[in-house]
Structure 1
Amino acid sequence: MPLMRSLFDAPSRWTALDPVAARAKDVADRVLPGGRVRGLLHGRPAGHAVHPAMAMVPVGTSVSAFVLDAAAVLLPGGQALGAPARLLAAASVATVAPTAIAGWADYVDLHPDQQRTAIVHAAGNAVAATLWTASLFAGRRARLLRTAGTLAAGAAGALGGHLAYRWAAGMNHAEHLVHLAGDGQEFSDIGTLDDLAEGRPEQRWIGDAPLCVLRRGGSVMALTDTCTHLGAPLHDGEVKGTGSATTITCPWHASEFRFADGEVLDGPASAPQPVVETRVEAGRVLARVVGPPL
Structure 2
Amino acid sequence: MTRLERSTRLDPAADRLQRGVHAVLRPRRVRDLLHGVWLGHPLHPALVQVPVGAWTCTAILDLLPGQRRAATTLLAVGTASALPAALSGANDWASLAREQRRVGLVHAMANSVGMAFFAGSLAARLTGRYNLGRTLSFLGLAAAGGGAYLGGHLAYKQAAAVNHGVPELRRMEDGWHPLADLDALPERTLLARRVDEVAVLVYRDGDDVTVMLDRCAHQTGPLSEGELAEVGGRACVVCPWHGSAFRLDNGQVVRGPAANDQQLLESRVAGGILQTRLP
2:97 equivalent to 1:111: yes
Query: What secondary structure, in the 3-state scheme, does the structure 1 residue paired with 2:265 have?
Result: strand
* TM superposition shift of 1:283: 5.9
- Structure 1 residues 219 and 150, CA, compared in 2 at 3 Å: closer, same or farther? closer
2:62 aligned partner: 69
2:19 equivalent to 1:38: no
- Within 2, Cα distance between the matches of 1:94 and 1:218? 52
1:259 aligned partner: 248
Deviating more after overlay: 142-151 vs 270-279: 270-279
Contact 1:41–1:102 (8 Å) recurs in 2: yes
1:173 aligned partner: 164
Superposed, 1:40-189 pairs within 5 Å as: 40-71=33-64, 78=65, 80-138=66-124, 139=129, 140-183=131-174, 186-189=175-178
Deviating more after overlay: 209-218 vs 162-171: 209-218
Query: What secondary structure, in the 3-state scheme, does the structure 2 residue paired with 1:136 have?
Result: helix
Query: What secondary structure, in the 3-state scheme, does the structure 2 residue paired with 1:98 have?
Result: helix
Normalising by structure 1, we get a TM-score of: 0.82
Deviating more after overlay: 94-103 vs 42-51: 42-51
Deviating more after overlay: 277-286 vs 157-166: 277-286
2:234 equivalent to 1:245: yes
Q: Deviations over 1:104-130 (max 9, x none)?
A: 121121101111111100011100011
- Within 1, Cα distance between the matches of 2:134 and 2:210? 61
Residue 235 of structure 2 aligns with an amino acid whose one-letter code is T
Contact 2:210–2:264 (8 Å) recurs in 1: no
- Within 2, Cα distance between the matches of 1:233 and 1:121? 30
- Within 2, Cα distance between the matches of 1:214 and 1:59? 44
* TM superposition shift of 1:179: 4.2
Residue 110 of structure 2 aligns with an amino acid whose one-letter code is G
Residue 130 of structure 1 aligns with an amino acid whose one-letter code is A
Residue 268 of structure 1 aligns with an amino acid whose one-letter code is P
Residue 201 of structure 2 aligns with an amino acid whose one-letter code is C
1:28 to 21, 25, 42: 21
Deviating more after overlay: 144-153 vs 258-267: 258-267
- Within 1, Cα distance between the matches of 2:271 and 2:140? 67
- Structure 1 residues 219 and 48, CA, compared in 2 at 3 Å: closer, same or farther? closer
Percent identity, aligned pairs only? 36
Which runs of 5 or more residues in structure 1 are unaligned? 1-7, 72-77
* TM superposition shift of 1:252: 1.4
Query: What secondary structure, in the 3-state scheme, does the structure 2 residue paired with 1:105 have?
Result: helix
* TM superposition shift of 1:88: 2.2
- Structure 1 residues 281 and 87, CA, compared in 2 at 3 Å: closer, same or farther? closer
1:204 aligned partner: 193
- Within 2, Cα distance between the matches of 1:172 and 1:213? 20
Deviating more after overlay: 191-200 vs 31-40: 191-200
- Within 2, Cα distance between the matches of 1:130 and 1:281? 63
Q: Deviations over 1:26-83 (max 9, x none)?
A: 1212212634443232122332212112112111111112122233xxxxxx3x3333
- Within 1, Cα distance between the matches of 2:134 and 2:242? 44
- Within 2, Cα distance between the matches of 1:19 and 1:245? 40
Contact 1:193–1:218 (8 Å) recurs in 2: no
- Structure 1 residues 288 and 241, CA, compared in 2 at 3 Å: closer, same or farther? farther
* TM superposition shift of 1:241: 4.4
Contact 1:134–1:145 (8 Å) recurs in 2: yes
Contact 1:171–1:229 (8 Å) recurs in 2: yes
- Within 1, Cα distance between the matches of 2:207 and 2:54? 59
Aligned length, in residue pairs: 273
- Within 2, Cα distance between the matches of 1:208 and 1:133? 53
- Within 2, Cα distance between the matches of 1:56 and 1:246? 36
- Within 1, Cα distance between the matches of 2:190 and 2:5? 34
* TM superposition shift of 1:195: 7.2
Normalising by structure 2, we get a TM-score of: 0.86
2:4 equivalent to 1:18: no
- Within 1, Cα distance between the matches of 2:208 and 2:57? 59
Query: What secondary structure, in the 3-state scheme, does the structure 2 residue paired with 1:176 have?
Result: helix
Residue 115 of structure 1 aligns with an amino acid whose one-letter code is R
RMSD of aligned C-alpha atoms?
A: 2.6
